Amino acid sequence: MGYDVMFGKTGNTVLGLGNEAIARGALEAGVQFAAAYPGTPSSEILGNLALVSKGLGIYTEWSTNEKVAFEAATAAAWSGLRALASMKQNGLFVVLDSLINVAFSGHGKGGLVLVVADDPLAHSSTTEGDSRPLGNYSDVVVLEPFTHQQAKDIISYAFDLSEKYGLVVLVRETTRLAQSRAPFTLGEVPHPSRKAVFDHSIPLHNLPRPHIRHAELHTRLEEIRKKEFEKSPWNRYTGPRQPSLLIITSGTGWKYANEATQILSTKGVGILALTTLSPLPEKLILKHLKSAKKVLFLEEIDPYLETQIRSLSAGLSKTATPKFYGKLSGHIPSYGECNIDHAIDAISRIQGIKYTPVSRAYAVKAKEAATLAPRRALTFCPGCPHRAAYYSILQAIKKNKGKGFVTGDIGCYSLGAFYHDIMRSQLSMGAGAGLASGFGNLDQFGLDEPVIAVMGDSTFYHACLPALVNIIYTQSKVTSIIFDNRSTAMTGFQPHPGIGIGATGEKVTTVPIENLLKGIGFTEISVIDPFDIEKSIKAVYKAITATTSHAIVFRRECALITNRRLIKSGEPAPRFIVDTDECIGETCKICSVQFNCPACVWDNETSKARIDGVLCNGCGVCVQICPAKAITGVKR
Ligand code: SF4
Ligand code: SF4
């Protein structure tokens, strides 16, 4: 957590994450309301605001999903406060419907800022979405900082703009900025004292003539373009008046452009770093286009600037139009994350400079080194309740003569895709239940395999409820399994409505999963400890062979939370050992291969199983599944 950043004194220079800089920027902007749904790479923004929120009278919440977070923030802005919603790029997809509506309707007199963290290369995502074209499409203002200092400072500017023009301002960042540390200097934190007032004079709807609102919106965006962005100090040009190559960039591309030109010692290159991305400062861009014969676009994910600026150049005469390079010309890869080597490669090709990127030699060495490292599978932690639950699902399917398949979605239980290949789908949040709802109604067309929808606890509240209602409503034959590990574990153990804890650790109302299932209309609901293997297999088998829809809640807290608690209490988890005389060896391997716990290792010398006491989390599941009763618990 960024204690130095959030509690640091005015004037201090601190080393912090980009997300911490944004959280601090929100404090300095006088934010009073902040809502988010956790998602890497954005989670630290709300996590850090929650650290200081009680002391400063700021309201913070982990909302049930991103759309709700944005709508809750809109309510606060409508009531005159400064409100911020933050999320990862997938969250923006969920928000779009409301975002476009709020862009049309306006949001009252308060400031409304939406921070979206994009994830080039999908380090912790399933897609590489780019929020810039979506912001542009939604008719909201889009800004993108290119340094940590800017990331902090731009939040105040974003709120000022939002309040002055009554527009939503989207601040885009990418993983490299969000998750890297760099120095920045802290500003003053005000003590905002605005009172929330419900303003009856400003209705938040677009009726009866949405197109009129649309026209007004375009007028305001045009005003921002002319009055604010054409001469904005947030956009920066460095280089000669007539560069031999003009690099147009945004976000982290600015750093790559600078570093690449330094490494290549190339003279005459100009760099236009744009922060105001929608609406674009067209006059400023055209002025620079006219000054260059060659233009390279360096930007993360989509060729957003490239396509916008290429079409803008259509108004230039043929002789004044430069030659364009970027993702569309193949000089920069059209997918994945931009890096210094991409920049060096493109500049040296365009400028005819001979240079071998360090990465080529490095890649050869790295490949050699990789052969020396022990191989690690992508799998659940030792003692993870999800492994036990999947093992039981697998056994139930086997018992059902191999008939049955699993649809799932996003969360740490997504690793089921690597666990005996059991999870067959992994799309968006809640999509596993939605797909299952469809599969469960295909029996009339001959589909005779039971479908099992798995979902995490946080995902259950986020996006599964409508699909579960659909399952009941359409009488779809589905087994719905909720992996309740008592937290949003994958993104850093944020709380959710099922555990009765709020964003600042305060006690709040619990919304139990089983109560919601009952309310929806499920009549067969079991709550089971997944570490009870026999009971779990029985429950799943009963559900997949039944003629009605069953719901099973596998409830057991994440092994990492248990571990931390046990370490704090000074009572370590029990330790397990294999009695090698009892272990039946090669013909079995149930613990190490089938159950696949990383702590159950195979000893090639003895041809028997062995438990690695350092890795073992003491869940005791291997004791239950060992057919020879060769595993026993001992005191640590
Ligand atoms: S070795 Fe056994 S007790 Fe230890 S974590 Fe693995 S399954 Fe659980
Ligand atoms: S499950 Fe039991 S018998 Fe089988 S390999 Fe493991 S320890 Fe040996």
Q: What is the mean pLDDT of residues 121-128?
A: 91
pLDDT tens digits for 145-199?
999 999 999 999 999 999 999 999 999 999 999 999 999 999 999 999 899 999 8
Ligand 1 probe mutation, 380, 533, 575, 611, most atoms within 8 A of CB: 611
CATH of domain 573-634: 3.30.70.20
Whether 562 lines ligand 1, by a CB cut-off of 6 Å, is no
pLDDT of residue 374 exceeding 80: no
* Ligand 1 center to 482 CA (angstroms): 22
- Nearest CA, atom 4, ligand 1: 616
* Ligand 1 center to 557 CA (angstroms): 15
* Ligand 2 center to 584 CA (angstroms): 6
pLDDT of residue 396 exceeding 90: yes
Structure confidence at residue 339 (pLDDT) = 92
Q: What is the mean pLDDT of residues 583-603?
A: 93
pLDDT of residue 356 exceeding 80: no
* Ligand 1 center to 386 CA (angstroms): 13
Using the CB atoms, write b or e for 61-75: b if 16+ within 10 Å: bbbbbbbbbbbbbbb
Nearest to 596 by CA among 625, 618, 569: 625
CATH of domain 236-360: 3.40.50.920
- What is Dmax (Cα atoms) for the chain? 86
Structure confidence at residue 79 (pLDDT) = 96
Do the beta carbons of residue 496 and residue 488 sit within 8 Å?
Answer: yes
pLDDT of residue 348 exceeding 80: yes
Choices 3.90.550.10, 3.90.480.10, 3.40.50.2300, 3.40.50.970: CATH for 3-229: 3.40.50.970
Structure confidence at residue 370 (pLDDT) = 83
Q: Which residue has the higher pLDDT, 210 or 437?
A: 437
- Helix (H) / strand (E) element for 220: namely helix 210-224
Structure confidence at residue 359 (pLDDT) = 67
Q: Which residue has the higher pLDDT, 399 or 367?
A: 399
Nearest to 69 by CA among 105, 109, 118, 102: 102
Nearest to 554 by CA among 400, 436, 379, 387: 387
* Average pLDDT of the residues of the chain: 94
Structure confidence at residue 417 (pLDDT) = 87
Nearest to 405 by CA among 449, 455, 454, 445: 449
Using CA atoms, how far apart are residues 490 and 67, in angstroms rounded to an integer?
20
Find where tokens 């290792």 sit: 601
CATH architecture of 385-565: 3-Layer(aba) Sandwich (3.40)
Handedness of CA 506, 507, 512, 515 (dihedral sign): negative
Rounded alpha-carbon distances, angstroms, from residue 537 to 60, 392, 449, 540, 541: 41, 5, 18, 5, 6
| Same fold? 385-565, 573-634 | no
Look up residue 615 and give its amino acid.
Answer: L
Q: Write the DSSP assignment of 481-497 as a string of letters.
A: EEEE-SSBGGGT-B--T
Spatial strand order in the sheet of 423-426: 423-426, 405-408, 451-456, 478-484, 550-555, 524-528
Other C-beta atoms closer than 10 Å to the C-beta of 394 total 21
Q: What is the pTM of this model?
A: 0.93
pLDDT tens digits for 598-633?
999 999 999 999 999 989 999 999 999 999 999 998
Q: What are the structural domain ranges in the chain? A: 3-229, 236-360, 385-565, 573-634
- Helix (H) / strand (E) element for 453: namely strand 451-456
Do the beta carbons of residue 293 and residue 270 sit within 8 Å?
Answer: no
Q: What is the mean pLDDT of residues 458-482?
A: 96
Find where tokens 């043929």 sit: 318
pLDDT of residue 268 exceeding 70: yes
Using CA atoms, how far apart are residues 202 and 210, in angstroms rounded to an integer?
15
Structure confidence at residue 208 (pLDDT) = 84
Ligand 2 probe mutation, 591, 593, 603, 612, most atoms within 8 A of CB: 591
Q: Which two tokens stand for residue 306?
A: 């490239």
pLDDT tens digits for 16-66?
999 999 999 999 999 999 999 999 999 999 999 999 999 899 999 999 999
* Ligand 1 center to 170 CA (angstroms): 46
pLDDT of residue 68 exceeding 70: yes
Do the beta carbons of residue 230 and residue 276 sit within 8 Å?
Answer: no
Whether 497 lines ligand 1, by a CB cut-off of 6 Å, is no
Structure confidence at residue 414 (pLDDT) = 85
Using the CB atoms, write b or e for 211-237: b if 16+ within 10 Å: eebeeebeebbeebbeebbbebebbeb
Structure confidence at residue 84 (pLDDT) = 98
Rounded alpha-carbon distances, angstroms, from residue 56 to 49, 59, 234: 10, 9, 29
Query: How confident is residue 126, by pLDDT bands cut at 50, 70 and 90?
Result: confident
Other C-beta atoms closer than 10 Å to the C-beta of 188 total 9
Do the beta carbons of residue 160 and residue 31 sit within 8 Å?
Answer: no
Other C-beta atoms closer than 10 Å to the C-beta of 634 total 9
